[in-house]
């Protein structure tokens, strides 16, 4: 169920969460770089659709992948 909010509130909330996610990923990427000694080039976040037939679309985060110069 989608909450009834204004488009302005949606945009503000979305931007807030995007900033928070960016900060969390940046912290983990730095930890990885410090531990391994390689620069993180990209971080991918994967989602999977877990919707039931006839229901609203629902996706969940299922995996993350770090790319470095040594990645396959």
**Whole-prediction pTM value?**
0.79
| Distances in whole angstroms, Cα of residue 10 to Cα of each of 7, 17, 37, 67 | 5, 11, 39, 31
Does any domain span residue 72?
no
Does any domain span residue 33?
yes
Q: What are the pLDDT digits (tens) for 29-62? A: 999 999 999 999 999 999 999 999 988 899 999 9
Structural domain including 27 reads 7-67
Does any domain span residue 1?
no
Does any domain span residue 50?
yes
The total domain count for the chain is: 1
């Amino acid at each position: 169920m989608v909450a009834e909010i204004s488009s302005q509130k949606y945009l503000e909330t979305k931007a807030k969460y995007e900033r928070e996610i960016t900060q969390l990923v940046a912290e983990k990427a730095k930890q990885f770089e410090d531990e391994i000694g390689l620069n993180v080039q990209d971080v991918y976040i994967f989602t999977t659709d877990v919707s039931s037939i006839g229901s609203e679309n629902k996706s969940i985060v299922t995996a993350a992948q770090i790319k470095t110069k040594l990645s396959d």
